Amino acid sequence: MRTLLEPLLPYEGALWIFRVVLAGCLIAHVGCAVLLTRRAHVARGRFRRRGLGLRSFTARTMLVSGLVLLLFIVFHILDLTVGTRPFASASFAGATESTSHAYDNLIASFSRPGVAVFYLLAMAVLGAHLLHGLWTAVNDLGVTGARARQVG
């Protein structure tokens, strides 16, 4: 990744482009989530029925799962990219001009049971978050409607 497109871009140029684009996408995602929540509250109005139980577990936990994933992203960057203690393992080795220690850092990080469990839980939360997001997008596009089921 550090030397990707190196004749066209400087050393680590593509990597920094990816980082900036990912950060922009994360900011846009959070902004759209806030906007969607505000619009839903306005559309719902003052009188809202509660306790209908129609929402799925993933729908009810989108905010919590989003916050957990945000904390995971921060932890992941501090653990495996920056190497900040106490997040990173004691044997963290930063990249140099000639070599990368990404594999060694990953093994050292996952050798700590708490970190390995946190990564597994974060991946499960990511799966639930993506499941709800994709299911909502499919529903919004009408793929699960009666007309689409008749065609298929």
Where is pLDDT greater, at 141 or 22? 22
Give the Cα separation of 119 and 105 in Å (integer). 14
Q: Is residue 144's pLDDT more than 60?
A: yes
Nearest to 75 by CA among 104, 117, 118, 107: 118
User: What ranges do the domains of the chain cover?
Assistant: 1-48, 53-145
Neighbouring C-beta atoms of residue 105, cutoff 10 Å: 21
Neighbouring C-beta atoms of residue 42, cutoff 10 Å: 8
Each residue of 81-136: pLDDT tens digit?
877 787 777 777 776 556 677 888 888 889 889 999 999 999 999 999 999 889 88
Query: How high is the pLDDT of residue 71?
Result: 93
pTM more than 0.85: no
Helices (H), 86-112: 102-110
Give the Cα separation of 66 and 116 in Å (integer). 20
